Amino acid sequence: MMPHFDSRKKEKGLKRFYLNRRQRTLLTILVATVFLLLVVMGGALLDEDRIATNLGARNLLPSLDHFFGTDWLGRDMFTRTMMGLSLSMGVGLLGAVGSTSIALLLGMAAASMGKMADRFISWLIDLFLSVPHLVTLILIAFTLGGGFKGIVIGLMLTHWPSLARVIRAEVMQIRSADYVRISRQMGKSHWWIALHHIFPHLIPQLLIGFMLMFPHVILHEAAVTFIGLGLSPHEPAIGIILSESMKYLSSGMWWLAFFPGLCLLIIVRTFETIGESLRLLIDPTRAHEK
C-alpha cells in the first residue's frame, strides 16, 4: 500500500507545478517582454566605438569577438544590428501609438456622431483598406520628403483602418447597453458617456490592436527605409543595413544580411506572440483551459 500512496503524492505534487492556459499565457507574455526590453537596453548600452570605421578588421566572419561578423568598413555587425533594432522599435512605437489614437478617435466618432459621420468614416476606412499599406506609406513618405518625419507620419496615417473598424463595432454594441441609455436619460453628455462608459471597455481591444499592429509597422518601416524613402542612410536602421548588404552578397559576405534579417523576424514574431497571448488572455472562455 505504501508505494501506491507515494505515487499518488507524487502526482499531486506534479499537479501543483502544472500551469493552466492562463498561467502559460502570462508566462509567455513575461518572457517575450523581458526579451524585448533586453534588446532595447542592449541597443542603448552597447559601445558606439564598435560601429566606427576600422579597416583593419573589415570583412571578418562571425566569431566570438564579432558575433555577427564585420562589414566592409570593419564595423561590428552585432552592435549595428542591436542599435538598428532599437531604432526600428522606437520608430514603430511612435507610428503604432499615433495610428492607434487615430483609430480610437475615428472609431468612436463613427459610432456616436450620427449617420453622416458614420457613413463618411466607413467610406474612409474602406478607401484605405482598398490600397495596400505599403503603397500608401511609400506615397506619403515620398510626398513628405522621407526621413524620420516622413516615415513616422506615414506609419501613423496608414495602419489605423482595421483597428478603427473593430472599435466602431465595439462602440455600437456598448452604446445600446442599458446603463448607457440610463445615463443618456439622466442628461449626461456624449463626451461624459464616451469617457466613463465606452472608453474603459475599449482598452483591451486597443491594447491587443496596438500589439498586433506593432510588428507590421516595424516591417513596413524597414521596407520603406530599404528602398531609400525612410530613415537617413547615416542611421544604423535595419532597413539601411539590409539595403547596404545587398551590394556585397555576391562577394560571399552572407552574414551582412542574414543576421540582421533573422533578428528582425524574431522581433516581429515576438510582438505577434505578445499580441496573440493578450487576445487569448482576455477571452474568458479559453483563458483557464488546461
Question: pLDDT by residue (tens digit) across 119-135?
Answer: 898 899 888 888 888 88
- Examine the pLDDT at 244 and tell me if it is beyond 50: yes
Range with the poorest average pLDDT among 23-32, 48-57, 100-109: 48-57
Phi, psi angle pair for 117, to nearest 5°: -65, -40
Coil/strand/helix, residue 130: coil
Q: Are 91 and 225 in contact (CB under 8 A)?
A: no
Range with the poorest average pLDDT among 72-76, 194-198, 219-223: 194-198
When pLDDT is averaged across residues 200-216 and rounded to a whole number, the result is 86
- Work out the pLDDT band at 1, boundaries 50, 70, 90: very low
Domain ranges of the chain: 75-282
Name residue 175's amino acid: R
Cross-strand bridge partners of residue 76: 70
Q: Which of the two residues, 129 and 18, has the higher pLDDT score? A: 129
Dump pLDDT digits (tens) for 87-106. 888 888 899 999 999 999 98
Q: Are 275 and 10 in contact (CB under 8 A)?
A: no
Candidates 1.10.3720.10, 3.10.20.740, 3.40.50.620, 3.40.50.1000; correct CATH number of 75-282? 1.10.3720.10
Average pLDDT, the chain: 83
Cross-strand bridge partners of residue 70: 76
